[in-house]
Amino acid sequence: MSNADKFPLLAAISSPAQMRTLKEAQLEPLADEVRAFIIDSVSRTGGHLAASLGTVELTVALHYVFNTPEDRLVWDVGHQTYAHKILTGRREQMESLRQKGGISGFPKREESPYDTFGVGHSSTSVSAALGMAIAAAKDGSGRQVTAIIGDGALSAGMAYEALNNAGDMDANLLVILNDNDMSISNNVGAMSNYLARILSGRVYSSMREGSKQVLSTVKPMWRLARRAEEHVKGMLMPGTLFEEMGFNYIGPIDGHDVSALVHTLRNMRKLKGPRFLHVVTRKGKGYEPAEGDPCSYHGVNPFDPETGKSESKPSGVTYTKVFGDWLCDMAVKDDRLMAITPAMCEGSGMTRFREQFPQRYFDVGIAEQHALTFAAGMACEDLKPVVAIYSTFLQRAYDQVIHDICLQNLPVLLAIDRAGIVGPDGATHCGDFDLSYLRCLPNITIMAPADENECRQMLVTGMQVDGPSAVRYPRGGGPGVAVDDSLEALPVGKGEIRRHGKQIAILAFGSMVAPAEEAAESMNATLVNMRFVKPLDEALIREIASHHGLIVTVEENSIAGGAGSAVSEFLNQEGIDIPILHLGLPDAFPQQGTRLEILAELGLDAEGIRRTIRRAAPPELAAVPGSA
């Protein structure tokens, strides 16, 4: 059966303008087709499923009511935008989703004019939309701007900063809260939808504004009327907070009722000033496996759409699992250990810890800045906080790392997952910069494991360091080294020579040790597993420099300011004159693709490392026996 037969309405639409020619009665069957298309498409490519299934009707209604792309839709995070991509001319490209050379899993400005703001990190939509609303006011275009933000994203302080600013500026902005943390309860039904239509309608709005103008001249009566309105609305809906911030709050309404959404959005489009629409949706809507377990279906590998089961076979032990197992074992030994995550429990491997040590587990929501200072407060009181965080999200709490942890030399351990290339999630989630932005900070100890067992040892070491420490490890698994269940630490600041060779010495950091070792074997080069980025093993570097004609550093981090730069800085400081070649991630954001595809493209697999060294080495070194 062809797509035209399976999805007749959808197949006839290649843009929102075409969709707006449909009759309103056709929107619900269109939404059903979009949902079925998402399930069919993602079952083959993998991707973020549950959140996108939850926003199908909302997406249809938004593009139906608003004149996109002239009117701006600003999505938060981007996990919820597959329906948006399908309806904005990218339906046929969905088969390339998150693959090398394909379309992004997130809104991306260079990909489509409908993607008004590039996202990947949470809680940015209201700030960006406010900026666009101010621009629309300046040019007098009458352009509408809407931010769509999830309830999880509202746990971040940045969202409230933007809401507070927007309300204070009286900006012409619509904020839609996509609330999917609860199922649709009794108060989200016909009566609630009816109230939303009334409160967003012209009659109520005119009465509200007219009364405001009349009563504002009589201050006591105005205060009384305002208080009465707040109490009435407060009894019917949870919007008092947003009203106090200066927004006209409407809702909650059923986010899966297309008709209610269309009518409410039409009314709200006519209103001016800051408006807030509360929409309740269900993650995984319309696909039973995802509705029943939206967390597992947040991000999925290719799966059988009939059963919901993944077709991919489980790989070996991941660094994330090594961390999760270590966390539980260490907690048994040291009751001061406390574990903190900014909304990344499953992704960071903390599920078992949460179950075994619920009183010592803290999910602070999407609030990275708070997570770090919260940990600093614990450390002040002789606890041993471990913050599990992705490299890309640690960037959001950089000031807290500097000011609240390193400056005070507090023993907080950062377990940094997804360091380096992350693959299909692309540039928004890359962990290319943590070595560069951390190693310039005083007091911190930074480690990068070469394999799974070394990762466990480094986590133990971090717990014993009397000050800030960080262990950074890549997404997925390592070379497959068996993990010892002991809790032994490593000597701080000491590397190891894994292979003795001639003339060329490769100093490899973390995940690059395995491919560098393979390259060293083929070139008869010395291979050093540096282990520590800070402090460096300076004695070992001196020894290596005295016996070799070329030093090569290799890291899965930006070359600029990274671990290799630290080696160069030390050699220069010591007055040691030796050629040095730095291999790592270039001064560009990585494209999407599998991690191995991107590393090979950047010359950071074994063959790429060998090829680059041969090309850069002086002729007399490249001619060393065994190095060809």
Q: CB-based burial of residue 497 (10 Å sphere; 0-12 exposed, 13-18 middle, 19+ buried)?
A: middle
283 an active-site residue?
yes
DSSP, res 306: T
- Find out whether 347 and 373 touch, Cβ atoms under 8 Å: no
| Contacts for 203 with CB less than 8 Å, ≥ 6 apart | none
Q: Which of 33, 57, 243, 368 is catalytic?
A: 368
Q: What is the dihedral of CA 49, 51, 52, 55, to 10 degrees?
A: 150
Strand positions, DSSP E, 432-521: 445-447, 469-472, 496-499, 503-508
Dihedral over Cα of 542, 547, 550, 551: its sign: negative
Task: State the residue for tokens 């560069």.
Answer: 436
Residue by residue, DSSP assigns 29-51 as HHHHHHHHHHHHHHHHH-EE-HH
Tokens of 466: 């009397």
Q: Which of 283, 285, 595, 610 is catalytic?
A: 283
Report the distance separating Cα 102 and Cα 17, nearest Å: 25
Q: Which of 35, 98, 396, 534 is catalytic?
A: 396
108-118 in b/e form (b: 16+ CB < 10 A) is beebbebbbbb
226 an active-site residue?
no
| Contacts for 552 with CB less than 8 Å, ≥ 6 apart | 504, 505, 506, 507, 525, 580, 581, 582, 583, 609, 613
396 an active-site residue?
yes
How far lies 31's CA from each of 64, 297, 441, in Å?
Answer: 12, 20, 51
DSSP, res 334: -
Number of CB atoms found within 10 A of residue 441's CB: 17
How far lies 122's CA from each of 54, 155, 398, 438, in Å?
Answer: 17, 10, 16, 22
Report the distance separating Cα 368 and Cα 351, nearest Å: 19
- What residues are annotated to the active site? 283, 368, 396
